[in-house]
């Protein structure tokens, strides 16, 4: 499995990068209203291209097919699994020979209503004991989102029960301003 992450959101020529990606991804990037969203969308795709080149020798722009819940796969490469995510601080891509999910989120304040909707009692208790409840919340949230992306359904059912350490393996990394989690089947 390869994890590719970049915080260099503003360190490339957006117009040149848009010209080097697939038309499909360019259209998706240009749907973002603000330049930062466009850059993050392009950067995540560039990370995928880099990973495909390094791990598989693939140099063509990948074209995506999507399942009914929006989970992408690469046309012509059914045995290559990947997942993309971005937040305002970073973009990430994970590539594997097995299904995989990833989420990256900025550490920030949260509302109690969101905690009550998304976290179970054990998670809430851990957050209340934490020296940094914001980071603890984001750690749990990225685990839940990465799980939903691994399964390929998105968050369509009980969010409180998404984390399952007997079924999934989680790798969570905390950086100064964001946290990311990679989720795989055991």
Determine which of 23-27, 102-106, 143-147, 162-166 has the lowest per-residue pLDDT on average: 162-166
Shared domain check, 113 and 76 = no
Structural domain range at position 119: 103-185
Per-residue pLDDT reduced to its tens digit, 95-133: 999 999 999 999 999 999 999 999 999 999 999 999 999
Residue 121 CB coordination number (10 Å): 8
Shared domain check, 92 and 11 = yes
The terminus-to-terminus CA distance of the chain in angstroms comes to: 14
Shared domain check, 114 and 94 = no
Prediction pTM value: 0.95
CATH code, domain carrying 152: 3.90.470.20
Shared domain check, 120 and 94 = no
Shared domain check, 52 and 134 = no
Q: Two tokens at 17?
A: 């990068």
Shared domain check, 57 and 13 = yes
Domain termination site, one of 67, 98, 129: 98
What is the predicted pLDDT for the residue at 152?
86
Shared domain check, 111 and 87 = no
Banded model confidence at residue 156, pLDDT cuts 50, 70, 90: low
Shared domain check, 8 and 32 = yes
Given phi > 0 = left and psi -120 to 50 = alpha, else beta, which region is 56?
A: alpha
Per-residue pLDDT reduced to its tens digit, 81-100: 999 999 999 999 999 999 99
Domain termination site, one of 98, 133, 158: 98
106: Cα within 13 Å, side-chain hemisphere: 9
Work out how many domains the chain is built from and give that number: 2
């Amino acid at each position: 499995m390869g994890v590719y992450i970049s915080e260099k959101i503003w360190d490339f020529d957006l117009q040149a990068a848009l010209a080097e990606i697939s038309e499909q991804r360019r259209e998706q990037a240009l749907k973002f209203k603000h330049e930062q969203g466009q850059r993050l969308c392009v950067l995540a795709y560039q990370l995928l291209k880099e990973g495909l080149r390094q791990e598989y020798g693939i140099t063509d722009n990948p074209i995506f097919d999507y399942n009914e819940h929006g989970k992408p796969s690469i046309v012509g490469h059914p045995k290559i699994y990947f997942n993309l995510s971005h937040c305002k601080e970073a973009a990430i891509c994970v590539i594997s020979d097995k299904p995989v999910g990833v989420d990256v989120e900025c550490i920030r304040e949260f509302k109690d209503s969101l905690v009550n909707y998304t976290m179970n009692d054990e998670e809430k208790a851990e957050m209340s004991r934490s020296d940094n409840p914001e980071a603890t919340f984001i750690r749990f949230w990225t685990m839940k989102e990465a799980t939903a992306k691994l399964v390929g359904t998105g968050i369509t059912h009980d969010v409180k029960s998404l984390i399952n350490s007997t079924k999934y393996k989680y790798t969570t990394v905390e950086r100064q301003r964001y946290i990311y989690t990679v989720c795989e089947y055991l």
